[in-house]
Structure 1
Amino acid sequence: MQCDETKPACSRCRMSGWMCPGYKSEAELIFRHQTDSVRKKLQPSQVTMLCGLEGHSRSSLPGEVRVREVFPSAVDRATSFFIHQYVFQGQASSHGNHDYLPALLQEDNGGALGTITAAAGLAGLANAGNATTWRSEAYSLYGRAICQLKIALDDPVQVKADQTLAAIMLMGTFETIASAHADADSMKSFGQHTVAAARCIELRGPFQFRNEASVKMFLQLRHLIVMIYHQFQEHIPYALERWSSWAEPIQRKDGSPANRFSELNDRLAAVRAKIKRESICTPSVVASLLLSIDNELESWRSTLPPSWGYRSYKSLNPSTDTYESHYDVYSDLWVASMWNDYRSVRLTIYEHIMSTTLKYGLEEDKELLQIATTVLRAMANDVCRSVLFHLGHQSQTDIEIPDDVAIPGGYLLFGPLYLSGVLRTTPMAQKRWIASKLRQIGVRMGLGLAFSMSENLLRMDNNSL
């Protein structure tokens, strides 16, 4: 919603409860429109805490209406931005992402969690508004959060607190938001924070899963651990299975397929680590090892409950973009994300088979390339068909998504989408479409890594000319 410049105060400022200073730059407007959207997600007590409604009132002159001037600080507005764009609450209690944050922030009392949340939000605002000053302030907050975390980790009580674990996890989120490069170094930095959070899980022990927030954090962390260890073709820590058993008693019943999927990822990671460790390069042997896991994945898929189902639609509008004419609608973002996790794992399996065959294969191995090409293209297309849903399109009636709608699903989407885009089997036209969607995520969420991923895909396109 743009400023309508209504006098004496514009409509947006009246709705948000702020004194209207007149028309501002695009970057400043990004800051100021978040609070009203966040109010809809939070309880009144959380709104008061997060939005910093600390103002001052002036004495009324005769015949003048008494007004209360409200000036949310940069930290408050950055926190609001992060919650608006990165927190979503699913229809089911355990089906959200970062949705434990509002309650934990309410009890943080000036600790590391509040600081790193503000840092991540300010980094996002800096990217969205291209504001260098905000970027440096974001890193200053990031440094402060590191100092606060060091103190918390040395305290026997704070080290086991939910706020401490959440803060460590958000350090990795900050890296993806602030990162200017989609390369091995950025993944390594993100991975270090994920490993640190994993160590915190081990230290906290089985009694940590006494509440819903702990389970939600663990499920989100488990997803990150699997992604990181697949990226570096390493064994997933055995302890992850033990942690899953600790959390399982208080998980929802429909969470069991996710637990089974995690077990399959453990086995896949072990197989890929074995291939790397033993330098196995015979295509038929590599394919045999990996396809045994793929067969189990397909068996897993065939037994999913109805709640995991989704509906496919095709647009009848001839002007609809080719890659948006066929799209899928899911029951919620968590289910959509789990499907993309499944697709990403199959992409990993068949890209491994293809790369090995291209490098070491003989004439008799050509059939493996044909099989891999078919699966890679199918999985990439399915990821692309999930884009509209992740970016806010929740029904089959309207493909257009308003610019002021938050897209927290973008944070779950950008990884699988980029993986689909870098495949050698993905056509250049599709790469360009994926790049445009990654840029849209970057602009709307201020997600730096999505910007750099988009640029990488466009460079691939230019290099092919």
Structure 2
Amino acid sequence: MARHGRLSKGCQTCRKRKIKCDQELPTCGQCKKSGWACPRYADVVERMFQHHCKSHDNKQSKKGNSSTDLVLVENPKASPFSVSQMVDNLAMQFFFAEHVFRESGVARGHFEFLPVYTSDSDANKTLSASLKAATLAAYAHKFRYPILVRKSRIYYDLALKSLQVDLLSPAVATKSSTIVTMMLLGTFETLNCENINMLSSTDAHMSGAMKCISLQVGQILKSHHGIQLFLQTSWCRLVTCILRSSPVPEEFIQTRRHAAKFLATDDPAWKLSEIMEKVAKFRAEVKLGTVCKTIDIVGVALGLDQELSVLAENMPFEWRFQRIPAEQDPGRVFDSYYHVYSDLWISCIWNFIRTSRLVLLKEIRRQHCPAPDVVIPVFSTFNCESNYGQLHVIMESLASEICATIPQFCDDLKGRYIEVATTKTDVPTTASVYHLFWPLLNAAQTTSLDNRRDWIINRCRDIGHTTGIQQCFALADFLETQEDIDSWVERQDEEHLSSLNISG
């Protein structure tokens, strides 16, 4: 039957206890004070959508149909907002609470700027549509509402069409609102990613965002939020270039040089990005054949690995992590230990260091596969000569270290192993998951242990179920095929050239 009167938006526990809920996110104040796990507001949408019997409605039309449909019931007189607007607002609150880094004064780069740029999003139809597309997609997949997934796609199509018009004007194309729109559309693609082939859509949005930033870099970098905007696109572009072995665009390099004037270049994250730029350049040169001799390839790779190792060895005290022994728990911990970081962003940077090293060592392994007994020069992590077998040990160790970070990304530590009292709350676990795909991909593809690979695949699916981010499932499906990511990239490139009727 239809709902009449005003719909309570409090959490399920507060409604059951008939007390006023402050509706705070991610947990309401009442549940927090009582020490309960807040069920939050996941069933609000269900209560907005009522099962309405067609046979009752169809008496006048004389259609005796007894099936039921899910229909949206609104009572405009009961509230100044429609039910649709209420759902949009709820999805937006959820997205800002779970998928956005909190402002901490440090320029990191994962939507910390979003509250500022979207405070008046209704005035910009393109930005408004992209924001609704991303936030509804996040909410719909988290709480499994197919009807809201469809609604988010409608907003996505509207935003995409409007964006195409905006990009025709150079003045509009370089506005911060346009760049934020592209980034939100890229996030929408990640949230809805059905298979790994859809990565190209996300890449296209982020590539477009960086190009627009490079055209207006002086203006954008004047503000703290503009720097955050740049950093988010920068991380995405670096990972994409390394993943695809594609040349780093010159405008991207120049934009980074300009941005360095406004950033703390002694920050470990920035130092890492500088090395990752070199790794991307190296990968592209190997692919293009600019660097082709084995001795040269191995020499460059070892030099970059040395830089990454030195960075890791000289981390500031606050960037250090705890290595905690744990009983074997196959569901949550792969080896007999896990890591605890004071901040999940720090964990992301450590994983990017490990992943960059895996990429380089994988290339060295590829070069030495025909002659596994060839002696490899000294590695920074060893005080002796390392042969092919020891290279394997290093790679397994790095993969193990990445796996050791996953419990904290999944919120498995609190109340289970130790109380993580030092962990900051300005980086939500769901928001940090966006930076976990690349490390997990490489950890799974470089390990020779089937049980480690299977564990990573299972954890990817667990994270997907917990967060609703569909790219987790796409990654798990791809890893199950055991196709090497470099082979997949080559196949993608060939298919792209074929579609353009260009022969290799």
Question: TM-score, with normalisation over the residues of structure 2?
Answer: 0.72
Quickly say closer, same or farther: Cα 1:356–1:130, change in 2 above 3 A: farther
The separation in 1 between residues aligned to 2:462 and 2:331, in whole angstroms, is 17
Residue deviations 1:147-183, cap 9 Å, x none? Answer: 222333334543332221111122221111111112x
CA offset at residue 91 of structure 1?
4.1
Which residue is 2:380 aligned to?
Answer: none
User: Map of 1:214-229 to 2, 5 A cutoff?
Assistant: 214-229=226-241
- Listed as ranges, the gaps of 5+ residues in structure 1 are 18-25, 34-53, 59-66
Q: How many aligned positions are there?
A: 415
Where 2:315 maps in the other structure, the secondary structure is coil
Where 1:408 maps in the other structure, the secondary structure is helix
CA offset at residue 306 of structure 1?
2.4
- Listed as ranges, the gaps of 5+ residues in structure 2 are 1-9, 24-38, 47-73, 377-385, 484-504
Q: Find 1:452's aligned residue among 474, 482, 486.
A: 474
CA offset at residue 424 of structure 1?
4.2
The separation in 2 between residues aligned to 1:12 and 1:407, in whole angstroms, is 30
Quickly say closer, same or farther: Cα 1:251–1:284, change in 2 above 3 A: closer
More helix by share: 1
Q: Find 1:15's aligned residue among 21, 32, 54.
A: 21
Q: Find 2:158's aligned residue among 144, 152, 155.
A: 144
CA offset at residue 286 of structure 1?
2.8
CA offset at residue 197 of structure 1?
1.0
Percent of residue pairs identical = 20
Quickly say closer, same or farther: Cα 1:151–1:322, change in 2 above 3 A: closer
Q: Does 1:174 align with 2:197?
A: no
Q: Find 2:341's aligned residue among 308, 314, 330.
A: 330
CA offset at residue 189 of structure 1?
1.9
Which residue is 2:305 aligned to?
Answer: 294
Contact kept in structure 1, 2:344 and 2:429, CA below 8 Å: no
Which residue is 2:403 aligned to?
Answer: 384
Where 2:324 maps in the other structure, the secondary structure is strand
Quickly say closer, same or farther: Cα 1:249–1:113, change in 2 above 3 A: same
Contact kept in structure 1, 2:361 and 2:391, CA below 8 Å: yes
Asked which structure has the greater CA Rg, the reply is 2
Which residue is 2:89 aligned to?
Answer: 76
Contact kept in structure 2, 1:234 and 1:273, CA below 8 Å: yes
The separation in 1 between residues aligned to 2:372 and 2:325, in whole angstroms, is 41
Counterpart residue type for residue 345 of structure 2: W
Quickly say closer, same or farther: Cα 1:31–1:103, change in 2 above 3 A: farther
Residue deviations 1:354-383, cap 9 Å, x none? Answer: 23433x446547975324312211111111
Q: Does 1:407 align with 2:430?
A: yes
CA offset at residue 241 of structure 1?
3.4
The separation in 2 between residues aligned to 1:213 and 1:55, in whole angstroms, is 40
The separation in 1 between residues aligned to 2:461 and 2:291, in whole angstroms, is 38
The separation in 1 between residues aligned to 2:330 and 2:239, in whole angstroms, is 37
Quickly say closer, same or farther: Cα 1:92–1:371, change in 2 above 3 A: farther
Q: Find 1:397's aligned residue among 418, 438, 445.
A: 418
Where 1:94 maps in the other structure, the secondary structure is coil
Contact kept in structure 1, 2:109 and 2:229, CA below 8 Å: no
Q: Does 1:105 align with 2:118?
A: yes
Which residue is 1:234 aligned to?
Answer: 246
Which residue is 1:162 aligned to?
Answer: 176
Question: TM-score, with normalisation over the residues of structure 1?
Answer: 0.77
Residue deviations 1:271-302, cap 9 Å, x none? Answer: 22222212866654432231121112222333
CA offset at residue 215 of structure 1?
0.5
Kindly report the root-mean-square deviation, in angstroms, between the aligned alpha carbons of the 2 structures: 3.7
Where 2:435 maps in the other structure, the secondary structure is helix
CA offset at residue 217 of structure 1?
1.2
CA offset at residue 317 of structure 1?
8.1
